[in-house]
Amino acid sequence: MNATLDGDVVRARGDARQRFHDARGYGRADGPDVTLARVEAAHLLYRGDLDSVSGMDFRAFFRDSVASEPSFAARFLVYADLRERGFYLAPVRDGWPGSASGPGGDAGNDGGADADILVFERGEKPGGPVAHRVRVVGEREELTTADLVGRTLAVVDEESEVSYFGCEAGGGFDGRTEYDLPADVEADLLDDRVVCWSPPAALYESAFYGQPVSGRDDADVDALQLSLLEAADLATRGAVDIDADAVIERGHEVEGERFDRRLSVYRELRDRGVVPKTGYKFGADFRTYDAVESVAELPHSECLVRVVTPDHRFHPRELALDVRLAGGVRKRMVFALAGDDSNDYLTVERLTP
């Protein structure tokens, strides 16, 4: 069967509407005919269901489409991959299923703005409930938070493989850690850490602040080392007898404004009953525990948290690294967007549609 390029769409007549639209969910019904987006027509050529579009075979039509539409190659690869996985899909486009003026376009969906492809729930026809609002990106593109929230990111790497990330607002924290803090424990600010001398055991064992100078039997010293973040938090709460401003100033000396952002997130998590500890060994800012009863029976930490600015540009390659590492150690990857007045959280996970 042959179809015709008409501006930026492809029109097919005859039994095309029945074969492609009604039976297999391609395109937009147009009276007795069907109108296809370029990506749909390319897929039909690729499968051999269409023979040509205005005389062009797959190779010619693909070249023409790459020259006509930005990121066509990447969108085609994702479209083909998702079709292969057995979903009905539609390009996000006025009049197409699920988009504005299209069938199902008012079904409580947000129309998929900023998305490229709508994937309908398994077994649902185009225009039905949406499973994924897919945004297609090359691995070299930078993304803002707004690009990610509520979207399924389809990253096409330089060798044309596609991987998917689900991005949801919120960190999914469920803080349930309870403890009482001591008052005015003696402490020294030493270099870029703080040492508490003879602290009450519960400060470490229940509240999980700090790290004993040693857990060794042969030590003659009873002391707890605190990170600058822990010390600043405890000083503000009156638990250690040290000037909070001096600790924060030291934090600025060694980390600059990053220290403020991290402290803001640290405090908020503590306020919510979540225990943040350093995530250094995972290359993150924090690992977090929702519910610590005692350090002796420490649960698995649930999240890795990376603190960024609200205008942070995410690189797909860095996302892949963070999310893969978190998955490998069975933790959620959460980005904390530390703003001047409040913090937002974004959870990113690998998924297989």
Give the residue numbers marked as catalytic: 289, 300, 331
* Site membership for a second copy, residue 225 (CB under 8 A): yes
* Spatial separation of the C-alpha atoms in residues 23 and 273, rounded to whole Å: 53
* Site membership for a second copy, residue 158 (CB under 8 A): yes
Binding residue for a second copy, selected from 181, 278, 291, 344, defined by CB under 8 A: 278
* Site membership for a second copy, residue 230 (CB under 8 A): yes
* Site membership for a second copy, residue 48 (CB under 8 A): yes
96-105 burial, b at 16+ Cβ within 10 Å, e below that, comes to: bbbbeebbbb
7-25 burial, b at 16+ Cβ within 10 Å, e below that, comes to: eebbbbeeebbebbbeeeb
| Binding region for a second copy (CB under 8 A) out of 3-11, 240-248, 290-298, 315-323 | 315-323
DSSP H or E stretch at residue 78:
helix 72-84
Q: Are 263 and 253 in contact (CB under 8 A)?
A: no
DSSP H or E stretch at residue 226:
strand 223-226
Binding residue for a second copy, selected from 8, 106, 144, 280, defined by CB under 8 A: 280
* Spatial separation of the C-alpha atoms in residues 79 and 299, rounded to whole Å: 42
Cα–chain center distance at 264 = 21
210-228 burial, b at 16+ Cβ within 10 Å, e below that, comes to: bbbeeeeeeeeeebbbbbb
* Site membership for a second copy, residue 281 (CB under 8 A): yes
DSSP H or E stretch at residue 61:
helix 58-68
In the complex with a second copy, the residue whose CB is nearer, 8 or 280, is 280
* Site membership for a second copy, residue 298 (CB under 8 A): no
* Site membership for a second copy, residue 211 (CB under 8 A): yes
Strand partners, 166: 152, 349
* Site membership for a second copy, residue 236 (CB under 8 A): no
* Site membership for a second copy, residue 2 (CB under 8 A): no
CB of 118 to a second copy, least distance (A): 22
* Site membership for a second copy, residue 218 (CB under 8 A): yes
- Binding residues (CB under 8 A) for a second copy: these are 45-48, 58-59, 62-63, 66, 71-74, 80, 84, 138-140, 155, 157-161, 163, 188, 190-193, 195, 197, 210-211, 213-214, 216, 218-221, 223, 225, 227-230, 254-255, 277-278, 280-284, 316-318, 320-322, 324-325, 328-329
